[in-house]
Amino acid sequence: MNDETHWRELTKRAIALHREGRYAESAHIAEEALAVAEKCFGVEHPRVAVSLNNLAECYREQGKHQEAEPLYERALAIKEKAYGRENIRVANSLSNLGALYYCQKRYAEAEACSLRALRIRESALGPEHPDVARSLTNLAGILLKQERNQEAERLGKRALLLKERVLGTDDPGLAASMNNLAAVYHAQGKHAAATLLCCHALAVVEKRLGPCHPHIRVLVQNMEKLRRSLRERREAESTQATTVSIVVGRN
């Protein structure tokens, strides 16, 4: 097996493990792939950027944000130099770096990366491409964290409708858009609509990815938060109604 074939095989294995949610195992293989890429292709080769990104994704999923950040930044710099600042491959790195900033609560930086990625994708791929929907979903989540709820709802709805048109209504790729839009509805007090979207997202992911996938845990946690908030709201309304009744009775 020559070096390029070895790198490709390692990369495929790392990606497969990542998709299964086996992030620590994926990181181990991705580290090996990166070492092979740097040795065989040179430290500024685009394939090194691929390996850097794959390893950074594993670290991010494990919460190792400090380890992931320099890898994402280095991958972005390699791609900008190799392809130009407006290339679609650059948009992918920007999106990933924006996701990391989001995890670190660096929302202004996350917005800047995600907005730039969105503009590149719309220009290169057209407004109806699934990657445009992914950028819209990411940006909606970032805006929500900044309490810009109306903007977040507008982008979240656009992302979900676009994904449904392009991917169908039962594709697991819809889950992120549903989850983000549910979070917007929850922030706006639309708890019934939020719960409905979370239920749909959970059903889609369970059907297509299986009940043990890590995304299931996140969706279940979100469902529990929504149900708890709805229960607390109903209890508060009940208490308020009782209080009003008592006050009125005294008058």
215 — pLDDT class (breaks 50, 70, 90): low
Predicted local confidence at residue 234, as pLDDT: 62
Predicted local confidence at residue 238, as pLDDT: 59
249 — pLDDT class (breaks 50, 70, 90): very low
- Residue 10 CB contacts under 8 Å (≥ 6 apart), including other chains: 29, 30, 32, 33, 36
pLDDT, tens digit, for every residue of 39-59? Answer: 999 999 999 999 999 999 999
Highest mean pLDDT among 1-10, 47-56, 240-249: 47-56
What is the mean predicted confidence (pLDDT) over 57-80?
97
The least confident of 55-69, 86-100, 236-250 is 236-250
250 — pLDDT class (breaks 50, 70, 90): very low
**Average pLDDT of the chain to the nearest whole number:** 86
Please provide the distance, in angstroms rounded to a whole number, between the alpha carbons at the two ends of the chain: 89
- 82 has a pLDDT exceeding 70: yes
- 223 has a pLDDT exceeding 90: no
- Report the C-alpha gap between 115 and 249 in whole angstroms: 56
Specify the residue for token string 């920007």: 94
115 — pLDDT class (breaks 50, 70, 90): very high
- 158 has a pLDDT exceeding 60: yes
| 0.85 exceeded by pTM | no
pLDDT, tens digit, for every residue of 84-113? Answer: 999 999 999 999 999 999 999 999 999 999
251 — pLDDT class (breaks 50, 70, 90): very low
What does the DSSP assignment read for the chain? --HHHHHHHHHHHHHHHHHTT-HHHHHHHHHHHHHHHHHHH-TTSHHHHHHHHHHHHHHHHTT-HHHHHHHHHHHHHHHHHHH-TTSHHHHHHHHHHHHHHHHTT-HHHHHHHHHHHHHHHHHHH-TTSHHHHHHHHHHHHHHHHTT-HHHHHHHHHHHHHHHHHHH-TT-TTHHHHHHHHHHHHHHTT-HHHHHHHHHHHHHHHHHHH-TTSHHHHHHHHHHHHHHHHHHHHHHHHHHHHHHHHHHHHH-
What is the mean predicted confidence (pLDDT) over 115-133?
95
